[in-house]
Amino acid sequence: MPSTLAILGGLPLRTRPFSTWPVFDAREREQLDDVLTSSNWGGFPSPNRKAAEFAAAFAAYQGARFAIPTTSGTSALEVALKALGIGAGDEVIVPALTFAATPYATVACMARPIFADVSATNACIDPDSVKRLITRRTKAIIPVHYGASLADLDALAEISRAHSIPLVEDCAHVPGARWRERGVGTHGALGCFSFQSTKPMTAGEGGMITTDDPDLEQRCQSLINCGRRRPGDTFEGPLMGANYRMTEWQCGILLAQLARLPEQIECKSRTAARLREGLGAIKGITPIARDPRITREVIYAFVFLVDESALGVSRNRFVRAMRAEGIPCGVGNDPVYRSALFPRESPAYLKACDLAGAGADRITIDCPVAERLFEHAMAAIPHECLLGDDRDVDDIVAAAVKVASRAAELAAANLEKSG
């Protein structure tokens, strides 16, 4: 092993690339050729041929009664909330650690997002924080399954039942995951998935809504199809929808992606177990454990926690040093209410707060665990790094050992951009 850290001028531990993403083969090409020669490329009539086939296959895989393809995970969340009738003056509880799409979907309904803290053990929404935030205006709770962890669906389902507040699962990171042998996206009123470029199955863009409720299925289908009703739809009241239909190109690619997903899930879960063991042996590094209630683990990001005091160097410097050694490593999402992609000074957010009776000067957000995890503790390896063999995992561990063993030297270094 090189004696000098790469960030301090030594040779990097790894120079060969990890597995590339996305993965594709002849199956995607065959699907695209089928769409091309059909001359039937768009999302109308809805659901179109490939869309209907993909929806049925995805619903069966997740164990849902219905699945509705849409343009993105963001639009899936927006449509799901609108299908529940959420609107001006309502509140929706969302976790502090998530992408901007989660609170954006709430604001798109003219409702106010309420930011709950997360659990220190898995970075997912904290049920106790949720309980404290419920008011008479609360009309939905959106648990986000984060990285490779699932939110505590047992506790959240109990809260949902006790207060008659529907759950809308944000499953963007974990298509195929199961909690107590039941697919995610089926534990609440609706589930929402993303097929954006970095996700564990992808068509570049795209999303999916799952539900077991026939009325909600009808509403979602109408909302993604410009407000149209299908023959036989029985939901009450008019809906103003938009064109959120998924194209046949995307549905074809995703049929192929879904076919290889089980094999990829098994591969990543197997290598993750090896990575947890290796990183867990390093003082100051704690991989987020797999909850035993997760009966099928899907990994979007392998998340681990850095104890800066025990390691002897800041999390930021550790991550930078890992990158210099040739290991892709990041710090996860910042608290979404601090994100530049969700500006709280925007007129839309301020209006949603005003409609819910909370002026900007009266809004307080208290999420200390999320703040600490983002600022000092959380680090992550992208899922494609776990698609290789044991040598890839061993290189990640060896790089972490190398950096940790020279933590004092790294902490004392005068780096150009200190962390």
User: 204-237 pLDDT, tens per residue?
Assistant: 999 999 999 999 999 999 999 999 999 999 999 8
Task: List 161's β-bridge partners, or say none.
Answer: none
Number of neighbouring beta carbons within 10 Å of residue 382 = 17
The span from the CA of 47 to the CA of 295, in Å, is: 32
Query: Which tens digits make up the pLDDT trace of 256-313?
Result: 999 999 999 999 999 999 999 999 999 999 999 999 999 999 999 999 999 999 999 9
- Are the C-beta atoms of residues 70 and 224 closer than 8 Å to each other? yes
The span from the CA of 308 to the CA of 306, in Å, is: 6
Domains of the chain: 26-256 (3.40.640.10)
The H or E element containing residue 26 is helix 26-38
Longest dimension (CA), the chain: 71
Number of neighbouring beta carbons within 10 Å of residue 283 = 11
Higher pLDDT, 156 or 419: 156
The pair of structure tokens assigned to 179 is 């909690």
Q: What pLDDT is attached to residue 361?
A: 61
| Residue 363 clears pLDDT 90, i.e. is over it | no
| Residue 419 clears pLDDT 50, i.e. is over it | no
pTM value is: 0.96
Band of pLDDT at residue 177, cut at 50, 70 and 90: very high
Q: What pLDDT is attached to residue 418?
A: 43
